[in-house]
Amino acid sequence: MPGPSPLLDVRNLVKRYESAPREAPPAVDDVSFHVNAGETLGLVGESGSGKSTIGRAICMLSPPNSGSIVFEGREISRSSQNELQKVRQRMQIVFQDPFSALNPRMRVGEFVAEPLVIHGRYRNRSERRDVVAEQFRLVGLDPDAMGRYPHQFSGGQRQRICIARALILGPSMIVADEPIAALDVSIQAQIVNLLADLQERTKVSYIFISHDLRMVQHICHRVAVLYRGRIVELANVVDLYSNPLHPYTQRLLSAVPIPDPARERARQRSLGPLSFGNEGSLIEAREGHFVRLPSLP
Amino acid sequence: MTDTSTQTPLLQIRDLSVRFRTDRGHVHAVNGVSYDLMPNETLCIVGESGSGKSVHALSILRLLPEPPAEITSGRIHFDGRELLTASRQTMFDLRGNGIGMVFQNPMSSLNPVLTIGRQITEVLRRHMKMDGRAAHVRAVELLDRVRIPDAASRIHSYPHEFSGGQRQRIMIAIAIACNPRLLIADEATTALDVTTQAEIIQLVRELKDEKSMAVIWITHDLGVVAGIADTVQVMYAGAIVERGPVDAIFNDPRSAYTFGLLNSLPDVSDVHGARTRLRQIDGMPPDLHALPAGDPFAPRNPYATERCFLERPPLRQAEDAEPGHLVAAWYDLRKVTRREAVG
């Protein structure tokens, strides 16, 4: 591919859970994509599509069975623990549930500072404190709250704390796995705006894993649609939403409820018990718009 | 929409207040809620966690654990009966016959060690006094109606043998088994995939017409509301802040909270990927331990007036709005947003 090499290049990723029956297809089956610097790639699909498994595999929280993950020019899927430590300074993950991600007995300031301690940065206490305070401000929290405990914060504030920690080592990539799904509607927009602002400032890349297709349309540059462990369509967000090519993508988008009563009443949905093949190969139907040709019956 | 002018309400709630006792004092979960629900009406109740939407529904069914919950005031009149003073037996009968319920997580509502056939027939035998054979036949019909494929043989399966969407269909089959006049669905599709959600909503729409049921659909998803509601009721901090016909609420919102919620959603008609900032609502939902004297949304409301901080606004007919479009606000949203658009 011409141009600068991508920040992350994933090739032929396969992840099979040991607990799954032998004959079951892998949770992630031959998935390839890339993410450029400063870009947001959306991974969408329904439960069991493999979207979260991909996120965890890329972060090596649940290493893949095969395939290659090249991040900042380095193959990381066969890295030693030592090398992974270095990778983790550059790639972080934010989870759905900010309630279970935080240690209830640790002051939130310490929680945010912990990566600095682990990676031996800013050994001077007061210097470290300043860095953490700056991080609090960056995510819209009052640095005076650093000494408090997680239960003293709301869900949205806790997600801000998790984002502050994820960003403190200056990563180039954040995998955000359903980061707003557990938050109230009035708080979701705050977090999505925060992620967008942080990207503008730091040029961080996101892999945004979500079942909320409206929010994905809003925040992502490109989107990959997953179905039963495979990418069935991958395109620029505008192309994907205005001209979906795969029947599964079409079905998915037609199911998304639109907050407009007149449009909802006029809508014809293509629903019904449908199943699609995910065999065949991904072809480039238009420039940058890839679709897996459905297998013929 | 149904003509509601001449009918008697199926459900009448007046001045309902519910609080919970906690270590930190009382949580005021529902604060003076009053409304009518007409037969065949679909009412969507919108709100976020702590808005009181679920607690108020559980009080209709008398399913709140008392204590720690305590219904401190109110009347709930359903189909000719007063529920807050009803006996346990009356409530038990009513939950089978009069009001069907569907909750977010079907797995916790179904008994994992009984076949689904057993769980449906039990309801039919107990509440409809059917014998075993008739109940079995009816149970297969019900499963078939909610589109469980191969119902006659799947009736012998256990809950874990079904997908999440199918389990929710089974819950709906149980809820409608005794032809209730009211179906209450509390975040019934929230845990489901979007295509499954669309199918369940379609199913409930059909059943509502077939069975002439009223529906109370509790959700935080305004897209779902747009698709099914006749009437929308927006709740915040345990109170109704706005209520009205669905089109009026979406096209002419009068509460700054409703307006803020609608504005904070990404614009899906924008296919150009503009990636503009979302118009977020700042701040956080209020602490229900210590509600302010005034409008609980005032601290987050850019249009709040001085009075909003001092005195709680009553829910009343909005000016120059459709009849039945009610709002609890001291400010006039149309004026302040118009001024904003001009300035």
**Contact (Cβ atoms closer than 8 angstroms) between residue B43 and residue B60:** no
Window 233-252 of B: residues touching A by CB (8 A cutoff) are 246-247, 250-251
* Average pLDDT for chain B: 89
% of residues, chain B, pLDDT over 90: 53
pLDDT above 60: residue B1: no
pLDDT digit string, tens, across residues A177-188: 999 888 888 888
Domains parsed from chain A with CATH numbers: 8-99+171-292 (3.40.50.300)
Q: Which helix (H) or strand (E) holds B205?
A: helix B194-211
* Helix extents (H) in chain A: 51-58, 81-90, 108-118, 125-138, 155-167, 185-202, 213-219, 237-242, 247-255, 261-266
| Interface contact flag, A257 B226, Cβ < 8 Å | yes
Sign of CA dihedral A244, A246, A249, A250: positive
CB A114 within 8 A of CB A146: no
A33 beta partners: A10
Percent of chain A past pLDDT 90, that is, above it, reads: 59
SS3 B210: helix
Please report, for residues A161, B228, B280, B340, the alpha-carbon distance to residue A94 in angstroms, rounded to integers and kept in the order given: 10, 34, 21, 37
Residue B102 maps to a domain: no
Return phi, psi of residue A40, to 5°: -115, 120
The mean per-residue pLDDT over the stretch B46-64 comes to 89
Question: Which residues of B, range 115-174, sit inside 8 Å of A by Cβ?
Answer: 147, 149, 164
Is pLDDT larger for residue B66 or for residue B238?
A: B238
pLDDT for the residue B185: 92
Number of domains in chain B: 1
What is the C-alpha R_g of chain B? 21
From CA B343, how far away is CA B337, in angstroms rounded? 10
Token pair 């808005």: residue: B51
Q: Which domain holds residue B294?
A: 255-268+278-343
Tell whether B338 is covered by a domain.
Answer: yes
Domain presence at residue B288: yes
Structural domain includes residue B313: yes
- For B92-138, what is each residue's pLDDT tens digit? 888 878 999 988 877 778 888 999 999 999 989 988 889 989 999 99
Structural domain includes residue B175? no
Confidence (pLDDT) at A1: 47
Is the pLDDT higher at A14 or at B336? A14
How does pLDDT run across A110-163, given as a tens digit for each residue? Answer: 999 999 998 888 778 888 999 999 999 999 899 999 999 998 888 889 999 999
Evaluate whether residue B300 is within a structural domain.
yes
Give domain status of residue B330, yes or no: yes
Across the A:B interface, residue pairs with CB atoms under 8 Å apart total 123
Task: Say if pTM beats, i.e. exceeds, 0.90.
Answer: no
Interface of A with B in 123-182 (CB under 8 A): 154, 156-157
DSSP structure class, residue B277: P
User: What was the pLDDT predicted at A294?
Assistant: 61
* Residues of chain A neighbouring B284 (CB-CB closer than 8 A): 154, 156-157, 187
Q: Give the CB-side neighbour count of residue A159, counting CA atoms within 13 A.
A: 24
Mutation for testing the A interface, residue in B54, B104, B195 having most A CBs under 10 Å: B195
The pLDDT assigned to A297 comes to 46
In a domain, B58, yes or no: no
pLDDT score, position B271: 56
User: Which pLDDT score is estimated for A47?
Assistant: 84
